[in-house]
Amino acid sequence: MLTCIGLCTALYSAPTVAVSTGWKQAPHIQVELVSSHQAVAPGQSFLVALHLLPQEHWHTYWQNPGDSGMPTQIRWQLPDGVTVSDIQWPTPQAFAIPPLMNYGFEGSTVLLSEITLPADYAGTGLLLQADASWLVCEEICIPGDMSFELPLAVARQPAESTHHQALFEQGRASQPVALQRTASYQVQDGVFSAVIESRDDLLVDAFFVGATDLVEHAQAQEISWQDGSLLLRQPQNTYFHQAPEQIEIVLTSGPQSFVVQAQRLDVGGAVAAGSEFGLAAFLTALLLAAGGGLILNLMPCVFPVLSLKAISLANNSGDAGRQKRDAWSYTLGVLAMFAVLALALIGLRAAGAAVGWGFQLQNPWLVGGLAYLFFALGLSLSGLVQFGSRLMQLGSSLGQRQGAKGSFLTGVLAVIVASPCTAPFMGAALGYAVTQSAPVALLVFLALGFGMALPFLLLAYSRRLARLLPKPGAWMDTLKQWLAYPLYLTTVWLLWVLGRQAGVDAQALVLVGLVCLAAALWLWGRQQLGQGFRLAPQLSWVFALLAILLLVLLQPQQGAQQSAENRHWEPWSPERLAELQADKQPVLVNMTADWCITCLVNERVALNTESGRQALTDYGVTYLKGDWTLRGADIHAYLQQYQRDGVPLYVLYWPGQEPKILPQILTPNTLRDQLAQLAAKPN
């Protein structure tokens, strides 16, 4: 009785409460947010469902949408201390639209999330606020979003809602059953493969990989049994870039479905992610790491820096003590930088970031800064400028009269530029390292660094090897100038990386910065030779600061590179369309988005083919393409102009005629046929 009275009191005194927001209508779909409880207690966990009901033949998307699409997302705003789980995804369906394959849901879809109140929650009410976004597709795709507010009462005893039990039962029943089986996977030689230990003959019809960019979704799946284990294989995705440490694999077996968590194997397939420490495996990893570091010296990306070290060894060939000191300084620089990278990589992985070896060169500002550094080093070796003692530590004098600090920094620089390279044996060692504790991983990285520095230690301590080094002489100045060219080529490579990362605009900005840097160093070099003028030092600093400012102003642009197959189109804009219409030019407008599967199929089948391009050329049509991937107001207004609320939309403009809307599903001949009809009509 007291419990009932307390509950009633809580419900009465709390803000207005509900267990559902009720249906909210969006284009081609209804959505509601529903709670499993009408009253919750401190310390309790309960379920909340985002219930989506698309119209018949329309569908939404799974966590991995496949070749196109966009997964449903929920962004929660909850009181302090209240936590929410990730979406508990139902088993997806496969939607094949050759040559593409997507994964998602038709009909009533229940996405469950678990919310937990802290034990010391003091409020009398709980307001659930969520912003949901989705993509609903049939022949066209329409993105949608909606905000929800669901107030619940907080009482001493929880009260479950009896009106929506069937909905939550549906949500639980639609989820795959967790299999407590050991599973592992790897991506090697262009093939994704997973091995699942099983004690019974589980008949699997198909599987779904939860991580994106791992498998080629439309390619055939291979499912077989080998030595009591289930083997799954599928070709690697064209856009594969990284294998997560753990992925979710959903298996379907008739009306049943199961889910397993598969750990990533290393490149050699010998050490599974999360494996326990073993002395034999540890010693093997150390040997592999040392061998990989040794071979790393032969990689092209390391040679420019090692050429600077070669100058130092030649300079000091008559001074054994100095050679040993420089060799150990270089070794310490290598080990220190490997330790820094190892700790950063381990820390980021522990925080959940998906990063791998060479991650620091994923930063366009760092890539631009390295381009500056190598260009400056090249100009120094070419004799344009001689850096003073303070700038020696940055690298130019690493090839001349350098001390312990210069050798140390040479080692640091060598590791920075070596990181994009992966030598033989490195893959297995690094794969082992990132699955172990921080101390073990750090030792593996240090072994890798020691292997990289080993040749210089051997040269410093072996008189026989040292005798092979040539004696210092006038030839060294010529050699120094020749060794500038690998640095220039490294600068070109870094600029190419930058262009791929941030686009040609950012690349051009850094190129201008390199011109400013060259001007600053030229003025500086003239000053060193006593040929400068009164304002040369100040002007040199102006150019140097301008180069730095241009690098700081660099603005990376996603997708800035335009592939060769798409160069037959121009970006759409209202102004460009109006300009072409005023000039009475035929125009094709394509409104598309990366998540629109119909758009991608149409482009592959009809618009980006040789016959499609030839049709545009034959009729003198300018092809304008509007990208609605990130949703813009201009494109939305254009869609509304033709009573559309989603993509794709294809509109042909022919001088003197009304705009012609093409079908949403294009065939290889649709474009040419429509152009021929428009051209045959009198204007």
* Residue 559 lies inside a defined structural domain of this protein: no
Most confident of 235-244, 352-361, 463-472: 235-244
Asked if residue 442 belongs to a domain, the reply is yes
pLDDT at 652: 95
Shared domain for 46 and 121, answered yes or no, is yes
**Would you place residue 53 in the very low, low, confident or very high pLDDT band (cuts 50, 70, 90)?**
very high
Q: Three-class SS of residue 197?
A: strand
Asked if 76 and 157 sit in the same domain, the reply is yes
- Please report which confidence band the pLDDT of residue 667 belongs to, taking 50, 70 and 90 as the band edges: confident
Q: What is the mean pLDDT of residues 3-26?
A: 62
10 shares its domain with 137: yes
Is the pLDDT score of 4 beyond 60?
A: no
- CB-count burial class (<10 Å; 0-12, 13-18, 19+) for 364: buried
Give tens-digit pLDDT for 269-297: 433 333 444 566 677 778 877 877 776 66
Q: Is residue 556 part of a domain?
A: no
Same domain, 242 and 98: no
What tens digit of pLDDT does each residue of 472-524 get? 556 656 766 776 787 788 788 778 777 766 777 788 888 898 999 888 888 88
More confident residue, 79 or 532: 79
pLDDT recorded at residue 150: 94
**Same structural domain, 38 and 68:** yes
- Tell whether 551 is covered by a domain: no
Domain boundary (441, 456, 483) is at 483
Does residue 274 fall inside a structural domain? no
Q: Report the candidate in 575, 589, 601 with the shortest Cα–Cα distance to residue 644.
A: 589
- Overall domain count for the chain: 4
The whole-number pLDDT of residue 312 equals 58
State the pLDDT at residue 475. Answer: 60
Q: Judge if 183 and 83 occupy the same domain.
A: no
Q: Which residue, chain included where needed, has tokens 């070796």?
A: 381
> The domain spanning residue 71 has which CATH number?
2.60.40.1250
Identify whether 97 is part of a domain.
Answer: yes
> What share of the chain in percent tops pLDDT 70?
74
- Across 399-403, 566-570, 585-589, least confident range: 399-403
pLDDT tens digits for 369-400? 878 877 887 787 787 876 533 433 344 444 44
pLDDT for res 358:
46
Q: How far apart are CA 683 and CA 580, in angstroms?
A: 17
Please tell me the predicted confidence (pLDDT) of residue 104.
96
pLDDT at 640: 80
Question: Based on the domain organization, do 251 and 299 belong to the same domain?
Answer: no
Flag whether pLDDT at 311 surpasses 60. Answer: no
Higher pLDDT, 122 or 395: 122
143 and 254: one domain?
A: no
Q: Are the C-beta atoms of residues 597 and 97 closer than 8 Å to each other? A: yes
> Is residue 577 located within the same domain as residue 610?
yes
Angle between helices 438-461 and 279-296 (to 10 degrees): 50
Please check the confidence at residue 198 and state whether its pLDDT lies above 90: no
What's the CATH code of the domain at 185? 2.60.40
HEC string for 43-57: CCEEEEEEEEEECCC
Distance CA 458, CA 82 (A): 60
Cβ neighbourhood burial of 439 (10 Å; 0-12, 13-18, 19+): exposed
* Among candidate residues 483, 518, 548, the one where a domain is terminated: 483
Dist CA 230 CA 220 (whole Å): 17
Any domain includes 372: no
Q: Is the pLDDT assigned to residue 548 strictly greater than 80?
A: yes
Q: How far is CA 41 from CA 4, 12, 79, in A?
A: 14, 16, 15
Residue 307 pLDDT class (50, 70, 90 cuts): low
Q: What is the pLDDT of residue 405?
A: 72
Digit-coded pLDDT (tens) for 608-646: 888 889 999 999 999 999 988 766 778 888 988 887 777
| Highest-confidence segment of 57-66, 91-100, 403-412 | 57-66
| Mean pLDDT value across the chain | 78
Query: Which residue has better confidence, 570 or 538?
Result: 570
**Selection from 447, 269, 433 nearest residue 345 by Cα:** 433
Q: What is the pLDDT of residues 243-269, one digit of tens each?
A: 888 999 999 998 899 999 999 886 444
Contact 483, 395 (CB under 8 A): no
Q: Is the pLDDT of residue 446 over 80?
A: yes
Same-domain pairing of 416 and 306: yes
- What pLDDT band is residue 3 in, cutting at 50, 70 and 90? very low
287 and 350 share one domain: yes
DSSP 92: P
* 45 confidence band (pLDDT: 50, 70, 90): very high
Tell whether 98 and 189 lie within a shared domain.
no
CATH number at residue 576: 3.40.30.10
Asked whether the predicted pLDDT for residue 364 surpasses 50, the reply is yes
Q: Determine the pLDDT at residue 316.
A: 57
| Domain range for 217 | 178-264
Residue 530 included in any domain? no
Q: Which of 454, 483, 512 is the last residue of a domain?
A: 483
**Entry pTM:** 0.53
Greater pLDDT, 453 or 86: 86
Q: Which of 327-341, 462-476, 528-542 has the lowest mean pLDDT?
A: 462-476
